[in-house]
């Protein structure tokens, strides 16, 4: 689904992260430069030329003509944008190229754009509330765009919505053109275009928003699209421009829901490179297990083949993704979750979004280690990863610094009472609590009580689940599994009183004035 990022004119740019770890997913939306449009001879068009082309092909709406254009045309696609919106600027070349392709196909769809910032009344009439927004109007009734971000995605989605969910291929020549033109497509072979199975195929084609469906009845033509189709009266398969090129639907039952599920699990390459254009589709994948490789492009080439080999073994069970580690907008949000945001080396991580668990391959990236890591992920035998800062040297510190790696030893397994302050650097109220804890630490010095601090932005532990900062937890000796939460809004004197009540009788400290 296209995200309408900005509702008002911003004073700064924001990076949105939506992980379907709850991942990933859906999605964060980042600001990236558009991929260049490639012409038939392989040359890349200048982005300004593409935008200029959009000006010539795409009809510009305004305050005077918007309602008239919508009312007088059966099919109208509207791009609501704002000149200052970087996401709008990124989408414009893809929208322009889609307009070119639709024009070549003699589509009845009218492609238009509206400067919603300049013409707010027209934007309000179309119910455009953010930028960019894509809307399809059929006989004056609008529906939101739910396809991908590339020009090809826009063309496929719109063609389906205006009544062409499946294209029939009748000759070998036509089939050869399809193979040249489409990166990914679905083929349905039916001896007769009728019956329950065919109707379910049509339903799946209409319901899918991303893939172009083709239908054939001649086995010779079908084999151009999908070689080695066995003699049968029905067949469905997906074709991709990547090493795992052909995948057949092997169920004997043809139901639209099952066909769509088959496509959802098989439409991605063995290893998908995450980009802004495909991010929405990747994040919405039904595959709950994801393995993500972070590396510079040159370094990724070293593990590409072994990773593809492993991906082939776990096909449709684990989604394999590659992210350029130098791309801060895409890579950094993930790496921050692991405390690895400064890393420049190749990293392999994994998610199980069903249980919101994350994992890290901390050994070398040999084919056998990658295979074992993925097998452990699939069978649930991997130890979850919790990020941690390096073990600090507390020396003679009055307040101990606790990190993820030392939480067990210093907090849970130690024989003494522990008062733990959980904070984050960005917490506006944490400074006040920190000052109170420092005074309390001096006041209770010499008692059977350890004062400690835990930076929750850089450390994690499975037995420390805190959502509010700052948080004060009192771990009583002998009962560390049930920490007592102290109010951070209490006065210093009240906090001292609460601590005294929780200390063992022999360890009580006289409540002096603080």
Could you tell me which residues come within 8 angstroms of residue 160 by beta carbon, excluding any fewer than 6 positions away? 205, 206, 208, 209
Within-domain flag for 336: yes
Last residue of a domain, one of 249, 265, 281: 265
Identify whether residues 149 and 194 lie together within a single domain.
no
8-46 residue pLDDT tens: 333 333 233 334 333 333 333 332 223 333 333 344 445
Within-domain flag for 5: no
Task: State the DSSP H helix or E strand holding residue 181, giving kind and residue range, or none if neither.
Answer: helix 172-181
Identify whether residues 406 and 505 lie together within a single domain.
yes
Within-domain flag for 36: no
State percent of the chain over pLDDT 90: 67
Task: State the DSSP H helix or E strand holding residue 206, giving kind and residue range, or none if neither.
Answer: helix 196-207
Cα–chain-centroid distance for residue 396? 45
444-481 residue pLDDT tens: 998 889 999 999 999 999 999 898 999 999 999 988 99
Mean pLDDT for 269-276 is: 91
- Order of strands, sheet of 234-240, starting from the edge strand that comes earlier in the sequence: 166-168, 212-216, 184-190, 234-240, 246-248
Which residue numbers are catalytic?
85, 427, 430
Q: Which residues pair with 417 in a beta bridge?
A: 449
Q: What pLDDT score was predicted for residue 24?
A: 36
Within-domain flag for 3: no
Going by C-alpha positions, the residue among 31, 109, 92 that lies closest to residue 330 is: 31
Could you tell me which residues come within 8 angstroms of residue 438 by beta carbon, excluding any fewer than 6 positions away? 398, 399
Within-domain flag for 38: no
What span, in angstroms and rounded, lies between the C-alpha atoms of 342 and 328?
Answer: 10
Identify whether residues 280 and 375 lie together within a single domain.
yes
294-323 residue pLDDT tens: 999 999 999 999 999 999 999 999 999 999
Identify whether residues 416 and 482 lie together within a single domain.
yes
Within-domain flag for 392: no
Identify whether residues 365 and 425 lie together within a single domain.
no
Answer with the residue of higher pLDDT: 136 or 230. 136
Domain of 441: which CATH number? 3.40.30.10
Identify whether residues 220 and 130 lie together within a single domain.
no
State percent of the chain over pLDDT 70: 87
Identify whether residues 285 and 340 lie together within a single domain.
yes
Q: What pLDDT score was predicted for residue 55?
A: 53
Indicate the number of domains in the chain.
Answer: 4
Q: Of 84-88, 172-176, 185-189, which gets the smallest average pLDDT?
A: 84-88
346-366 residue pLDDT tens: 999 999 988 889 999 999 999
Going by C-alpha positions, the residue among 443, 513, 435, 497 that lies closest to residue 470 is: 435
Domain that holds residue 245: 165-265
Helix or strand or coil: residue 102?
A: helix
Within-domain flag for 384: no
Strand segments, DSSP code E, in 462-506 are 471-476, 479-486
Q: What pLDDT score was predicted for residue 35?
A: 34
Q: What does residue 450 show for φ and ψ, rounded to 5 degrees?
A: -100, 135
> Considering the entire predicted model, what is its pTM?
0.71
Q: Of 85-99, 326-340, 385-399, 491-505, which gets the smallest average pLDDT?
A: 491-505
Q: Of 159-163, 372-376, 387-391, which gets the smallest average pLDDT?
A: 159-163
Identify whether residues 131 and 173 lie together within a single domain.
no
Answer with the residue of higher pLDDT: 199 or 38. 199
Q: What pLDDT score was predicted for residue 305?
A: 94
Mean pLDDT over all residues of the chain? 86
Could you tell me which residues come within 8 angstroms of residue 74 by beta carbon, excluding any fewer than 6 positions away? 108, 138, 139
Last residue of a domain, one of 243, 265, 287: 265
Within-domain flag for 386: no
Structural contact between residues 135 and 144, judged by C-beta atoms closer than 8 angstroms: yes
Identify whether residues 307 and 365 lie together within a single domain.
yes
Going by C-alpha positions, the residue among 294, 273, 275 that lies closest to residue 345 is: 294
Identify whether residues 72 and 169 lie together within a single domain.
no
85 token code pair: 């919106």
Identify whether residues 148 and 89 lie together within a single domain.
yes
Q: What pLDDT score was predicted for residue 149?
A: 81
Which 3-state string (H, E, C) describes 155-179?
A: HHHHHHHCCCCEEECCCHHHHHHHH
Q: Of 39-43, 103-107, 379-383, which gets the smallest average pLDDT?
A: 39-43
If you count them, how many residues does the chain have? 514
Last residue of a domain, one of 265, 284, 314: 265
Identify whether residues 410 and 320 lie together within a single domain.
no
Q: What pLDDT score was predicted for residue 341?
A: 87
């Amino acid at each position: 689904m296209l995200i309408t990022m900005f509702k008002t004119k911003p004073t700064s740019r924001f990076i949105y992260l939506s992980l379907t770890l709850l991942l990933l997913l859906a999605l964060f939306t980042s600001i990236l430069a558009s991929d260049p449009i490639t012409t038939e001879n392989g040359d890349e068009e200048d982005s300004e030329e593409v935008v200029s082309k959009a000006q010539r092909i795409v009809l510009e709406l305004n305050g005077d003509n918007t309602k008239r254009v919508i009312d007088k045309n059966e099919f109208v696609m509207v791009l609501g944008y704002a000149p200052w919106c970087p996401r709008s600027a990124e989408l414009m070349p893809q929208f322009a190229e889609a307009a070119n392709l639709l024009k070549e196909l003699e589509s009845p769809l009218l492609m238009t754009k509206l400067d919603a910032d300049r013409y707010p009344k027209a934007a309000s009439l179309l119910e455009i509330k953010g930028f960019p927004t894509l809307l399809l109007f059929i006989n004056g009734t609008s529906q939101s765009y739910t396809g991908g971000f590339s020009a090809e995605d826009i063309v496929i989605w719109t063609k389906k919505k205006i009544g062409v969910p499946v294209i029939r291929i009748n000759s070998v020549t036509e089939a050869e053109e399809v193979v040249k033109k489409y990166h990914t497509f679905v083929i349905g072979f039916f001896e007769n275009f009728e019956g329950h199975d065919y109707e379910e195929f049509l339903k799946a084609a209409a319901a899918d928003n991303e893939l172009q469906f083709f239908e054939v009845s001649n086995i010779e033509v079908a084999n151009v699209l999908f070689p080695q189709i066995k003699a049968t009266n029905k067949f469905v398969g997906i074709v991709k421009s990547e090493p795992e090129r052909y995948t057949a639907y092997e169920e004997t039952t043809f139901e639209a829901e099952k066909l769509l599920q088959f496509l959802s699990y098989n439409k991605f390459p063995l290893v998908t490179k995450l980009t802004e254009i495909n991010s929405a589709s990747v994040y919405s994948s039904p595959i709950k297990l994801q393995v993500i490789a972070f590396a510079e492009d040159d370094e990724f080439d070293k593990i590409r083949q072994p990773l593809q080999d492993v991906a082939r073994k776990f096909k449709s069970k684990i989604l394999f993704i590659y992210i350029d580690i130098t791309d801060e907008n895409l890579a950094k949000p993930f790496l921050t979750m692991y405390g690895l945001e400064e890393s420049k080396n190749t990293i392999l991580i994994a998610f199980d979004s069903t249980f919101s668990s994350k994992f890290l391959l901390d050994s070398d990236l040999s084919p056998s280690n990658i295979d074992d890591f993925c097998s452990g992920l699939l069978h649930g035998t991997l130890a979850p990863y919790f990020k941690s800062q390096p073990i600090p040297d507390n020396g003679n510190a009055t307040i101990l610094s606790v990190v993820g790696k030392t939480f067990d030893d210093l907090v849970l397994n130690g024989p003494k009472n522990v008062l733990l302050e959980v904070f984050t650097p960005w917490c506006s109220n944490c400074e006040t609590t920190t000052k109170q804890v420092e005074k309390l630490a001096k006041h209770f010095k010499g008692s059977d009580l350890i004062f400690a601090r835990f930076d929750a932005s850089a450390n994690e532990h499975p037995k420390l689940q805190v959502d509010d900062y700052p948080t004060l937890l009192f771990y009583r000796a002998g009962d560390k599994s049930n920490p007592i939460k102290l109010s951070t809004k209490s006065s210093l004197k009240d906090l001292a009183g609460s601590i005294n009540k929780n200390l063992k009788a022999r360890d009580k400290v006289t409540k002096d004035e603080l």
